Amino acid sequence: MFLNLSDQNFEETIKKEKLVLVDFWTEWCSPCLILGPMLEKVAEEYKGKIVFAKANLDENQIAGGKYNIDRIPSIIIFKDGNPISGFIGLRPESEIKEWIEKNIQPKENDGKQ
């Protein structure tokens, strides 16, 4: 299931959840319409590991501006409210999964003071 983010709940959501993948999209961007269903499928496999969310860039200019989203689809993974990795444009499903795997693995110093 995808969370729908808006300028109002964006910051609160990415800080509240440990790991959030955000898909910045718009209704008229064809690559976004191809990537969206692919991510929905991938989201099913990562349930409980990372939260999937989408933000319509036409309606959420503040979040788009803050994270310098100038092209779409733009996908960013946030960890504890901070962007840690991202990509722009279409990618094959296998590559997206590899990228997610790489970014959800706990780092050696995670949780240490």
Q: Which residues bind another protein (CB under 8 A)?
A: 26-33, 57, 61, 64-65, 69-73, 89
Q: Which of 36, 1, 7, 23 is nearest to 87 (CA)?
A: 23
- For the chain, the straight-line distance linking the first and the last C-alpha, in angstroms and rounded, comes to 33
29 a catalytic residue: yes
State the minimum distance, in angstroms, from the CB of residue 61 to another protein.
8
87 catalytic, yes or no?
A: no
Q: Which is nearer to another protein, 15 or 71 (CB)?
A: 71
* Nearest to 75, CA basis, from 36, 28, 29: 36
Catalytic residue among 20, 32, 39, 75: 32
Active-site residue list: 29, 32
